[in-house]
């Protein structure tokens, strides 16, 4: 087991299963601007790099001229529907309670406002000392800037910090920041892709963290 004072969590695909609401908002957006709906599995593969990249990928290279209108439609619809189907992964509350004596933070490529609304709506926002979203720092993961900011703000040491996430960029950000990484295998990233970036630890389910960190 690895000793930590701070645990940093990703959100989508790590703490919450938000894919259904993100996919629905993407397809409403596409329909509203006259484009065909996209396959849900394909849209899910676009998740992880924030709203801008999600909408850009859904539009495709040939339709980028529609981006300003598309992102406006997406933001409005998602803001109104981001808790329709989004749920905590089983065991999330149990794990947060288990680590109640540790400092915890959220670092996500999702917009800060959407993130806080979801965490508050699912009644887990109070567990985190800090939430850093896509529009609260100049850089998104895999840049380590957000990790450095949280470590500095919460006054902990890098060697006592771990990043938990389902994405390749979560692991890359942790490695760049010089902290331990834990890849969760139940999220949205293809299992082999996540294994290929060699996280320090792996979780088949979030409860596994209780046997990895202390």
Among candidates 3, 1, 5, 10, which has minimal Cα distance to 151? 5
- Residue 10 annotated to the active site: yes
- 98-117: burial string, b at 16+ Cβ within 10 Å, e else: ebeebbbbbbbbbbbebbbb
Per the CB < 8 A criterion, the answer to whether 183 and 199 are in contact is: yes
Catalytic residue among 5, 10, 41, 79: 10
Q: Which residues contact 213 (CB under 8 A, 6 or more apart)?
A: 1, 2, 3, 4, 7, 99, 162, 182
Exposed, middle or buried, 8 (CB in 10 Å: 0-12/13-18/19+)? buried
**Phi/psi of residue 44, nearest 5 degrees:** -60, -35
Active-site residue set: 10
């Amino acid at each position: 087991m690895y000793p930590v004072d701070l645990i940093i969590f990703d959100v989508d695909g790590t703490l919450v299963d938000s894919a259904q609401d993100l996919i629905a908002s993407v397809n409403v957006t596409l329909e509203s601007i006259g484009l065909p709906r996209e396959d849900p599995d394909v849209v899910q593969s676009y998740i992880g790099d924030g709203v801008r990249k999600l909408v850009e990928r859904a539009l495709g290279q040939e339709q980028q001229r529609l981006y300003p209108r598309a992102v406006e439609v997406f933001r409005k619809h998602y803001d109104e529907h981001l808790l329709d189907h989004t749920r905590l992964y089983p065991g999330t509350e149990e794990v947060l309670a288990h680590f109640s004596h540790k400092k915890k933070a959220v670092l996500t490529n999702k917009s800060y406002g959407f993130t806080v609304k979801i965490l508050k709506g699912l009644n887990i926002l109070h567990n985190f000392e800090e939430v850093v979203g896509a529009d609260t720092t100049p850089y998104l993961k895999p840049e380590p800037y957000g990790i450095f900011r949280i470590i500095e703000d919460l006054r902990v040491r890098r060697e006592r910090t771990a990043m938990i996430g389902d994405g390749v960029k979560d692991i890359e950000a942790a490695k760049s920041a010089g902290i331990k990484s834990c890849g969760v295998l139940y999220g949205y990233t293809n299992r082999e892709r996540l294994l290929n970036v060699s996280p320090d630890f792996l979780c088949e389910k979030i409860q596994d963290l209780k046997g990895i960190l202390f």
